[in-house]
Amino acid sequence: MSDIQFNKEQKEVLVSKLQSWFERELDQELGQFDGEFLLDFISNEMGAYYYNRGLQDARVVLEERLQSIDEDLYAIEKEVR
């Protein structure tokens, strides 16, 4: 798997969210550099867990859809005499 990377706009939004959370929950100021460093750490060390969970959730949806399609195919099967 390749590294999780965000474009500039996404990174700005995520760092801003981290800064807001630090201020609100910890009453600490998180600078831009530190926010980017923390985001990189979270992405590199924990991102794969979230990514894999997303894939597992997608597999469940796909399996449900395939089951539905399979049932539909059986429903239109012609009787053999």
Q: pLDDT, tens digit, for every residue of 15-33?
A: 999 999 999 999 999 999 9
Write down the pTM of the prediction. 0.74
Residue 1, in any domain of the structure: no
Helix (H) or strand (E) holding 53: helix 32-75
Residue 68, in any domain of the structure: yes
Q: How many structural domains compose the chain?
A: 1
Helix (H) or strand (E) holding 42: helix 32-75
Range of the structural domain that residue 27 is part of: 8-75
Residue 80, in any domain of the structure: no
Average pLDDT, the chain: 94
Residue 1: is its pLDDT beyond 80? Answer: no
Residue 2, in any domain of the structure: no
> How high is the pLDDT of residue 5?
85
Contact present, 14 and 39 (Cβ < 8 Å): yes
Query: In whole angstroms, what is the distance from residue 11 CA to residue 32 CA?
Result: 11
**Mean of pLDDT values over 1-22:** 92
Name the packing angle between helices 8-26 and 32-75 (round to 10°): 110
